[in-house]
Amino acid sequence: MSPMKRSALMARIKGRDTKIEKMLASALSRLGIKWKSHLSSLPGRPDFVIDDVKVIVFVDGDFWHGWRFPAWRHKLTPRWESKIAANRRRDSRNHRKLRAMGWKVVRIWEHQIERDLESCLSRIL
């Protein structure tokens, strides 16, 4: 695939309101949990903010946030390796900032929601 074609393909991937986020949002709503989405006033613009219990939830895409990154980073071009490594550093930095602000931070991987949504909900509540 040419770099231009790959770039166009990757640009089409959404950063919010993904299928996985919608699955979690629907489950939270069914449980009667009130949440806010993508608050830009908080570090990392969390996917879900549950003010009542001071919990923040990030739904991390396996590729973009580097699930088991050390095992497959060598397969990437330097550009993509650098991009994902930077995403992981930023995630870690935002996690620390939010914890320092008194938030409980829950990071859930895309594949975890697909495989066992109930388990993911128990981590949040």
In this predicted structure, what is the pLDDT of residue 63? 92
Residues forming a β-bridge with 58 = 107
Residue at 87 is within a domain: yes
Give the CATH number of the domain where residue 58 resides: 3.40.960.10
Residue at 1 is within a domain: no
**Mean pLDDT, residues 38-57:** 96
In this predicted structure, what is the pLDDT of residue 2? 79
Burial class from Cβ neighbours inside 10 Å (0-12, 13-18, 19+) for residue 120 reads buried
Residue at 120 is within a domain: yes
Residue at 4 is within a domain: no
Tokens of 41: 């006033």
**Looking at the predicted structure, is the pLDDT value of residue 70 above 90?**
yes
Residue at 9 is within a domain: no
Weakest mean pLDDT among 11-15, 47-51, 110-114, 118-122: 11-15
In this predicted structure, what is the pLDDT of residue 9? 67
Residue at 24 is within a domain: yes
When divided into structural domains, the chain yields a total of 1
pLDDT band at residue 13, thresholds of 50, 70 and 90? Answer: low
Inter-residue contact 104 to 54 (CB < 8 Å): yes
pLDDT band at residue 115, thresholds of 50, 70 and 90? Answer: very high
Burial class from Cβ neighbours inside 10 Å (0-12, 13-18, 19+) for residue 124 reads buried
CA distances from 23 to 7, 40, 72, 83, 106 (A): 27, 22, 27, 27, 16
Instruction: Rounding to the nearest 10 degrees, give the CA dihedral for residues 113, 99, 88, 58.
Output: 20
Q: What's the pTM?
A: 0.86
Inter-residue contact 76 to 125 (CB < 8 Å): no
Residue-number span of the structural domain to which 80 is assigned: 17-124
Residue at 7 is within a domain: no
pLDDT 10s digits, 16-43: 778 999 999 999 999 999 999 999 999 9
pLDDT band at residue 14, thresholds of 50, 70 and 90? Answer: low
In this predicted structure, what is the pLDDT of residue 17? 78
Residue at 61 is within a domain: yes
